[in-house]
Amino acid sequence: MAKLTRVSVSGIPQGFQEHSFTIENITLNYVEGPQNGPSLLLIPGQMESWQGYKCVMPQLAQRFHVFVPDLRGHGKSTWTPGHYSYNICGNDLKTFLEQVIKRPAIVAGLSSGGVLAIWLAAYAPEDVLAVIAEDPPIFSSIWPRIQDEKFMSRNFQIAMDVLGKPGPRDVEGYFSHMGIPIEGKTELLNIPKIIVKGMFLLDSLTRPLRPKRPFDVPLLPFNMRAGYKFLCEYDTDFSRATIDGDLSKGFDPEDALRRVGCPMLLLKADAYRHDTWGIVGAIDDDDLQRIVSLVKDLQVVEVAGGHEIHMQQPQRYIDELTRFVDGLGEEGKLS
């Protein structure tokens, strides 16, 4: 497995270039790799910018033509408060496929990016060869159900309440509110305040020594360092849209899944249901059975571990993606 601490959040991987693309009145930032094979569009999840894929981009670029955008409201792309939905973001990516990539692509996405990958397969089928949906909350994050998923909605609410305040981003305050449900208890187990204080003290002491790598706090794993960056450049109105239902307005997940005609790989991370907090994860057993019943050509791989598979288990992610694509090639399903 790749050693995450050795991957810097800053900088662009060798062979990649950063560009921008204008769609009507917004600009999408993206990175593009060398033309080494079929086009592969990687779609970050909510609160994630293109750097989230840095642990897998170099290896994937050896055999794919990799594109990774910042969605609107993320990274260097335009913020559009009041205009965030799966349909809006899906159409952004459809235009990106048609005008930037310019040929059908394999489309992969994490979390809400996984939902968008499914959206593209359903509503832009001519642009999509295959889908890799990485732990997509295809049912659990959809309004009105998300109102009952207390743990998930709480995390989005904290982003709004803490990160959305005027002034400098209080990322330390955000981390201090983070916690996980414990079986049999109603109270969350929060990150100990002394650990949060220690993280940000270490950051303040070492940042002047690494001005070109401001988010690479020593000792922290890649997903935490990258998350620090993402939280500083994320429009929290995207979180508001998720809770209020604007994100899923006009989007029917069952209709989308039924329409997926291309091959699809579902990477499912760990999840369970808590009596008080609801789903802890993205896909519970009932959700999985619904997906299986709706998608015609589906492979499911359950990956023990956390939600962000490509950041926490990069080699496993690469292995599953390439195994899936190689199998499709042998079956003649990528032409």
* Contact indicator for 111, 45 with CB cutoff of 8 Å: yes
List the pLDDT tens digit at each of the 335 positions of the chain.
334 447 999 999 999 999 999 998 999 999 999 999 999 999 999 999 999 999 999 999 999 999 999 999 999 999 999 999 999 999 999 999 999 999 999 999 999 999 999 999 999 999 999 999 999 999 999 999 999 999 999 999 999 999 999 999 999 999 999 999 998 899 999 988 999 999 999 999 999 988 989 999 988 999 999 999 999 999 999 999 999 999 999 999 999 999 999 999 999 999 999 999 999 999 999 999 999 999 999 999 999 999 999 999 999 999 999 999 999 999 998 87
Q: Return the pLDDT at 53.
A: 98
Strand, helix or coil at 180? Answer: strand
Residue among 35, 34, 48, 39 at smallest CA distance from 311? 48
What residue ranges in the chain does DSSP mark as E strands?
Answer: 17-23, 26-32, 39-43, 65-69, 105-110, 128-134, 179-180, 189-190, 264-268, 272-274, 278-280, 298-302
DSSP 131-158: EEEES--TTTTSTTGGGT-HHHHHHHHH
Query: Two tokens at 214?
Result: 């401001």
3-state secondary structure of 317: helix
- Which among 26, 53, 27 has a CA at the least distance from the CA of 42? 53
Q: Reply yes or no: is the peptide bond before residue 144 cis, omega within 30 of 0.
A: yes
- Look-up: residue for tokens 């100990």? 192
- C-alpha 72 chain-centroid distance: 13
* Residue owning tokens 């995450």: 4
Closest CA relative to residue 171, chosen from 223, 228, 239, 217: 228
For the chain, what is the total number of helices (H) and then of strands (E)? Answer: 12, 12
- Please compute, for residue 298, the number of CA atoms within 13 A of its CA located in the half-sphere on the CB side: 21
Instruction: Quote the DSSP letter at residue 99.
Output: I
Tell me the β-bridge partners of 23.
26
Predicted confidence at residue 335, as pLDDT, reads: 74
Helix axes 112-123, 86-96, angle to 10 degrees: 70
Q: Which helix (H) or strand (E) holds 232?
A: helix 222-232
Q: In the chain, what is the greatest distance between 2 CA atoms, to the nearest angstrom?
A: 55
**Which pLDDT score is estimated for 24?**
87
pLDDT of residue 2: 39
Residues 35, 17: Cα–Cα separation, whole Å: 12
Distance CA 137, CA 140 (A): 5
- Check if the beta carbon of residue 307 is closer than 8 Å to that of residue 109: no
Taking alpha carbons only, the member of 64, 60, 73 closest to residue 116 is: 73
CATH number 3.40.50.1820 given to 4-330: yes
Distance between start and end Cα atoms, the chain: 32
Taking the CA atoms of 197, 51, 134 and 325 in sequence, report the sign of the dihedral they define. negative
pLDDT of residue 219: 87
State pTM to two decimals: 0.96
